[in-house]
Amino acid sequence: MSAPHLPKVAGIDSSVPAPAHTVQPSPAPTRVIPGPGAALQDRLAGWVSDLTTLQELTERLARTTTLGEALDELLRAGAALAGARRGMVVLEPADGLGPDSTVGLGLARHDLGTIETIPCGTTPYGRLVETPPGLPGGSGELARPDLLAEKGLDPRHREVAARLGIGASYALALATTAAGPLGAAVWLYDEPAEPPERRRHLLGRYVRYATEHLARLLELERSRAELATVTQELLPARLPRVAGVELAVRHRSGPRGGGDWYDALPLPEGALGLSVGSVTGSGPSAVAAMGRLRASLRAYAVMEGEDPVAVLSDLELLLRLTEPARSATALFAYCEPALRRLTLAGAGHCPPLIVGERRTEFVETSVSAPLGMLACWEAPSVELQPAAGETVLFCTDGLLQRTGDATDRAYAKLHAAAAGVPSALRDDPDAIADHVLHTVLPDGLDRADSPEDVVLLAARFR
């Protein structure tokens, strides 16, 4: 008689005996209920994280030195905080003094133009610009979490949002107590969305700091623009037309304004007075001193221009009497275009450079001290006879100093740039000046912020 079989259970073979030794099953995990202390720690960790993020973003913003850089940084940081991919800043200072500008993030120029076709009051930022905080009905933020589902949305706004794929927007006003309303920043979402309360709070604090920084840079930009305007007004509005010579000039002013000048003054009997110079220092006082010195030099040139040494001697005496704390470098040339002849004298100034088909060389002038450095300045004049088609280049020391090279290397770079002017450009003093300037100061160095002014004056003789 066979032994009885154990019943079969699904998934278990009852004929297989159980092992002699089995592992004791592990106990079920015990659910830990967090106490009130853990929740507090989580909140503290969140606050520390927010403060760290805010500190990093504000430090990056503080390192920006121009208005354009600051606006770009505001957009990038704001997009990260708001969780958006695109955005724009509309800068429209309420005082009307400008500058007005619109900067975009992830938006092409034509996209910004398309958004600006929306009636201002219905744009994602319009209400903030028209009714800034502090005015009746004014609010510091404007959230539109679902644009296409919004009732009463302007048809043009709906059309632009659909075309650009904008599903939602979140905007904050840019305004300070001192500067007043400056504009608005808006971040755009591809789908219906809205930043959570914690992110909104963090973004609001960042934008308040950013607006103060923008206001400072805006004031600095206005001051620079005003100083540049004053500098331009103190220099010739246009170069004169004199038979036998063609003139061109390039002038670059530093951000604080400097004391470099140039001049081209028609004189009796078809002559021409050419001068370049530089006053020590920078800022409004140096610009004012430059204006006074240049105006005095023009007067002396009219009275005794045929004697450049006398002109600079008189200028040196004036400088010692009226500007005892300053010195200046200057070069004055009495030009007779009909004879293709120049008589020039220099005071501590870099010599002119002759550029022609057969030669490129510096004019040999006597070494002399700047004006105001000695008890009495005097140096002999030099006569120069350029050939037909040759160009004489006058420049200030700022052109050499902006290269960042030692003096001898800077002079060599200037000589090489002049010698390398293509033959096709040698008949045009404007083209010669551009070629030399961009070769000596490549990659935008001629326009970059620098404490040194740059003057390059070209006179081509026919």
pLDDT, tens only, 349-376: 899 999 999 999 999 877 688 888 876 6
Q: In this structure, is residue 36 part of a structural domain?
A: no
Q: In this structure, is residue 11 part of a structural domain?
A: no
In the chain, the number of structural domains is: 2
Are residues 245 and 216 both part of a single domain? no
Are residues 284 and 185 both part of a single domain? no
Residue of higher predicted confidence among 142 and 448: 142
Are residues 420 and 288 both part of a single domain? yes
Are residues 147 and 266 both part of a single domain? no
The band of 32, judged by pLDDT with boundaries at 50, 70 and 90, is low
Average pLDDT over residues 263-272: 95
Q: In this structure, is residue 9 part of a structural domain?
A: no
List, for residues 402-452, the tens digit of each pLDDT value. Answer: 998 999 999 999 999 999 999 999 999 999 999 999 999 998 777 767 778
Are residues 202 and 284 both part of a single domain? no
Is the pLDDT confidence value at 254 over 50?
yes
Are residues 255 and 344 both part of a single domain? yes
Choose the most confident range, by mean pLDDT, from 135-144, 265-274, 378-387: 265-274
Q: In this structure, is residue 3 part of a structural domain?
A: no
**Full domain range(s) for residue 116:** 53-226
Average pLDDT over residues 64-90: 94
Q: In this structure, is residue 161 part of a structural domain?
A: yes
Q: In this structure, is residue 307 part of a structural domain?
A: yes
For the chain, give the secondary structure using H, E and C.
CCCCCCCCECCECCCCCCCCCCCCCCCCCCCCCCCHHHHHHHHHHHHHHHHHHHHHHHHHHHCCCCHHHHHHHHHHHHHHHHCCCEEEEEECCCCCCCCCEEEEECCCHHHHHHHCCCCHHHCCCHHHHHCCCCCCCCCCEEEECCCCCCCCCCHHHHHHHHHHCCCEEEEEEEEECCCEEEEEEEEEECCCCCCCHHHHHHHHHHHHHHHHHHHHHHHHHHHHHHHHHHHHHHCCCCCCCECCEEEEEEEECCCCCEEEEEEEEEEHHHEEEEEEEEEEEECHHHHHHHHHHHHHHHHHHHHHCCCHHHHHHHHHHHHHHHCCCCCEEEEEEEEEHHHCEEEEEEECCCCCEEECCCCEEECCCCCCCCECCCCCCCCCCEEECCCCCCEEEEECHHHHHCCCCCHHHHHHHHHHHHHCCCHHHCCCHHHHHHHHHHHHCCCCCCCCCCCCCEEEEEEEEC
pLDDT of amino acid 138: 43
Domain-ending residue, one of 169, 196, 226? 226
Q: In this structure, is residue 159 part of a structural domain?
A: yes
Are residues 126 and 275 both part of a single domain? no
Average pLDDT in the chain: 86
Is the pLDDT confidence value at 274 over 90?
yes
Is the pLDDT confidence value at 16 over 50?
no
Are residues 222 and 251 both part of a single domain? no
Domain-ending residue, one of 191, 226, 261? 226
In terms of pTM, does the model score above 0.85? Answer: no
Please report, for the domain that includes residue 154, its CATH number: 3.30.450.40
Are residues 222 and 266 both part of a single domain? no
Residue of higher predicted confidence among 131 and 195: 195
List, for residues 319-358, the tens digit of each pLDDT value. Answer: 988 888 889 999 999 999 999 999 999 998 899 999 999 9
Are residues 167 and 246 both part of a single domain? no
Q: In this structure, is residue 6 part of a structural domain?
A: no
Please report, for the domain that includes residue 247, its CATH number: 3.60.40.10
Are residues 291 and 196 both part of a single domain? no
Are residues 332 and 201 both part of a single domain? no
Domain-ending residue, one of 201, 226, 251? 226
